[in-house]
Structure 1
Amino acid sequence: MTTTLPARPLHEDVQHAWQELATASGVIARVEDLLTALPAPGARTAGQRADAAAAHQAARALRTRFLDAYADAVYDRLTTGRTLRPRLDELLEAAADTFPGLVPTVARLAAETGLVQADKEGHEIDQGILLRAVLRSPTAGEHLLDSMLRPTDRALRMLPEFTRTGVAELEAVRVERRDDGVARLSMCRDDCLNAEDVRQVDDMETAVDLALLDPATRVALLRGGRMSHPRHRGRRVFSAGINLKSLSSGGIPLTGFLLRRELGYIHKIVRGVLTDHPDQWHAPRIEKPWVAAVDGFAIGGGMQLLLVFDHVLAASDAYLSLPAAKEGIIPGVANFRLARYTGPRLARQIVLGGRRIRASEPDARLLVDEVVEPEDMDAAVERSLARLDSEAVLANRRMLNLADEPGDAFRAYLAEFALQQSLRLYSEDVLDKAGRFADPTAKSTHIERS
């Protein structure tokens, strides 16, 4: 029997409306009782897995119905009428405290820290349900997107020293700004070929914030550093994509990695950073042109990055790939952006068929602006940076981005991505594929993809 939703509440009493609905239906309590009685997910029988899945389905259907009806009221309650600007993790923590049973608590998620992905319950799916509802709302969703464009506290703490010295040394990224007005971001996870994990996402957002906030920076560059990995020792590599070892070991969270990455530093490269500044009356965000230089390869998330840069160079011996179907997860916002560059047929070949694009083949020119010999990369990079160092470039890239990627369309994509990616994280095929990387003696995070 379907439980009737309470009358549409104002944000002040939506908390009571949720408690009333959850109590009347009983489905949230039944899930809790069942999970308490069952063994851990990896130890369950087929019948126990089916029982858990059915209980989760009922609870998630209830959460979805409630949020489809009251997402704006919920968001207003959590942000005090949109006067607060919480980031994703802060929003979800507040939701867990204010609406018990709607999303997992911090303690519940912390209890799964250290578990491999296959042994987790899948509570992040409930986070995906809430975030989809919020992002689908033109009012709540836009407010959340703007909140995620704010500079991080870490970047603000580091900014005075970076402004003074022009250097920031982070674990995964090194930032250097010289007298030429260029902030050079060098990805330096040399042991894992710049495979992305939570550490790299955090460092990248900090680095992007510093480049955007630094008044002496006019143009920014992203390039891979030189590697110590045995197969690529001494050579530059752009990115091996998501760190599959981290995924298998449960270290790739929905909000702290997959959504923060898209709504944080990647979105800031496109839209800029939202902060108070003198020109705010006509340019709310601080934006700058960006160049990417691809040495070696740009796999998965590395290739996704290229779709937001103003100018992309690739060495002639480099290649690009987006093995989303092989890994089983959704490749971020690439499904939204890729066809704009390549057309729908080639986009499907890359995403669904795993087609690898070599820089030397004609189709690569749909994805990169220049292909140069490896020994000529340094000079070509400098020329491209000089070409983009112009106020007219900045104004026109803003208008191009507005035309290419309207905010409402981006928000609608992210809304569905939040839920679908959370489902993918706990799907059987992804758990099986990720499990192949669980062996701690494995030598590489990218070996099956490169």
Structure 2
Amino acid sequence: MTTEASDGLETHLCRDLTRIADAVARTGEPTADRVRRLRVAFMDRHADDIYDRLTDGRSARPRLAELVAAAADAFPALVPPAGPAESRADKAGREIDQGIFLRGVLRSPAAGGHLLTSMLQPTERALRLLPAFRRTGVLQTTSVRLERRDGVAHLTMCRDDCLNAEDNLQVDDMETAVDLALLDPAVQVGVVRGGTMTHPRYRGRRVFSAGINLKALHAGEISLVDFLLRRELGYISKLVRGVLVERDDAWRSATVEKPWVAAVDTFAIGGGCQLLLVFDHVIAGADAYVSLPAAQEGIIPGVSNLRLGQVAGPRLARQVILGGRRIRATEPDARLLIDEVVEPDVVDAAVGRAADALRAPAVVPNRSMLNLAEEPLEAFRAYVAEFALQQALRLHAEDVGDKAARFSGAAPVPTS
């Protein structure tokens, strides 16, 4: 870009940011929508330039939280920073503005593509823990246990206190474990399964996942950036596309991918069901069921609105997402979501067989090509761009707060 063009763009940026800042200064309920219209229009015009400034011409690769923090520091009229004593209303407004900013970034093929690729990098935490995991083959965190056995990384979700309902902490632990499984050259296949519960109703039984932690949601501990977006762009995207690494044979592929098996015991609700849509082989006990009650909870079920219709067809997708239909593993329609249904006491044996079958050398390149055909990166980018804003709006909608409040006093207990 020439100096003259750069100066001209600087003038436009300053002018538009001044308009937003002036509107913010006058913000009351009547002008909130006007301010957000200005922010949306600003990002539509200047997303690439803003992103380039925040990433030093895309030479840096910040993660979502780092990018949003840098934007709040550099452009507070665009992405308001958190205040010292932030109220729930302030948090809601700030996260909606973060959604506007990230929608603008992700809508851009250049900036959005760079950000999605950046999110495939291994986390600093995983890189720090990798030497010990390669040596011992074991990782134990608050939310997960990862154990390498005979070339298979067994990732067990072990939040027995909340039926593996996900929160910010579990998302961080899951991404760490997925990174380690992908980075460890001794691992050929990954398996994800729920651990044994201590909940009175499910004591001694394995449970895959109860979805989003509604108690944490009601307490304001579920965040747009560190949970709802990091989850989709972080560890779930890595399950699909692999982890981005620098290595001598990177000319073959920029990422390291591995096949993944899911084993569903008892139920996979909400976010647990969302996960099943990205696995290469899904096994379920005959007494298990799956459901996506996000519409009843008032939120959007991650990227399921993109994936479920492709996997199960548009009619079933609407029944599940809009109507809250629960599908039991023994129903014929379950075969659209589950590859193999077995008696609960032989799930272990089915997992072993599936993992062995996925060790074949041609599995990884074929799964890569299948994923490319089924979910091109551009389609994913376009979806998550709108998801960033729409989920921010739903996260702080009044009906969502009312529904989450029902779970403020006790752990969620699914009905059977």
Q: TM-score, with normalisation over the residues of structure 1? A: 0.89
Q: Given the superposition, is the C-alpha separation of residues 299 and 24 from structure 1 closer, same or farther in structure 2, using an over 3 Å criterion? A: closer
Which letter does structure 1 place at the counterpart of 2:378? Answer: D
Matched, 1:227 2:212: no
One of 127, 131, 148 as aligned partner of 2:102: 131
Matched, 1:28 2:2: no
CA contact (8 A) 1:192 1:444 kept: yes
Q: How does 1:72-83 map to 2 (within 5 A)?
A: 72-83=48-59
CA contact (8 A) 1:357 1:363 kept: yes
Q: Unaligned 5+ residue runs, structure 2?
A: none
CA contact (8 A) 1:133 1:415 kept: yes
Q: Given the superposition, is the C-alpha separation of residues 251 and 16 from structure 1 closer, same or farther in structure 2, using an over 3 Å criterion? A: farther
In the other structure, the counterpart of 1:92 is: 68
Distance 1:204 1:284 in 2: 22
**SS in structure 1 opposite 2:146?**
strand
CA contact (8 A) 2:215 2:410 kept: no
In the other structure, the counterpart of 1:279 is: 249
Which letter does structure 2 place at the counterpart of 1:314? Answer: A
Q: Given the superposition, is the C-alpha separation of residues 226 and 14 from structure 1 closer, same or farther in structure 2, using an over 3 Å criterion? A: farther
Q: TM-score, with normalisation over the residues of structure 2? A: 0.96
Identity of aligned pairs, percent? 65
One of 364, 375, 399 as aligned partner of 2:369: 399
Q: Unaligned 5+ residue runs, structure 1?
A: 1-8, 32-50
CA contact (8 A) 1:303 1:322 kept: yes
In the other structure, the counterpart of 2:47 is: 71
One of 316, 319, 322 as aligned partner of 2:289: 319
In the other structure, the counterpart of 1:59 is: 35
Q: Given the superposition, is the C-alpha separation of residues 177 and 10 from structure 1 closer, same or farther in structure 2, using an over 3 Å criterion? A: farther
Distance 1:329 1:136 in 2: 21
CA contact (8 A) 2:210 2:414 kept: no
Shift in Å, 1:412: 0.2
Deviations 1:284-305 (CA, angstroms, capped at 9, x unpaired): 1000000000001000000000
Matched, 1:18 2:13: yes
One of 178, 187, 200 as aligned partner of 1:217: 187
Shift in Å, 1:435: 2.2
Following TM superposition, the consecutive aligned residue runs of length 4 or more in structure 1 with deviations greater than 3 angstroms are: 9-19, 117-121
CA contact (8 A) 1:18 1:99 kept: no
One of 405, 410, 416 as aligned partner of 1:443: 410
Q: How does 1:119-268 map to 2 (within 5 A)?
A: 120-178=91-149, 180-268=150-238
Which letter does structure 2 place at the counterpart of 1:28? Answer: V
**SS in structure 2 opposite 1:199?**
helix
Shift in Å, 1:434: 1.7
Which letter does structure 2 place at the counterpart of 1:85? Answer: R
What is the RMSD computed on CA atoms of the aligned residues? 1.7
Deviates further, 230-239 or 119-128 = 119-128
Distance 1:12 1:150 in 2: 34
**When the two structures are aligned, how many residues end up with a matched partner?**
413
Distance 2:258 2:249 in 1: 14
Which letter does structure 1 place at the counterpart of 2:380? Answer: F
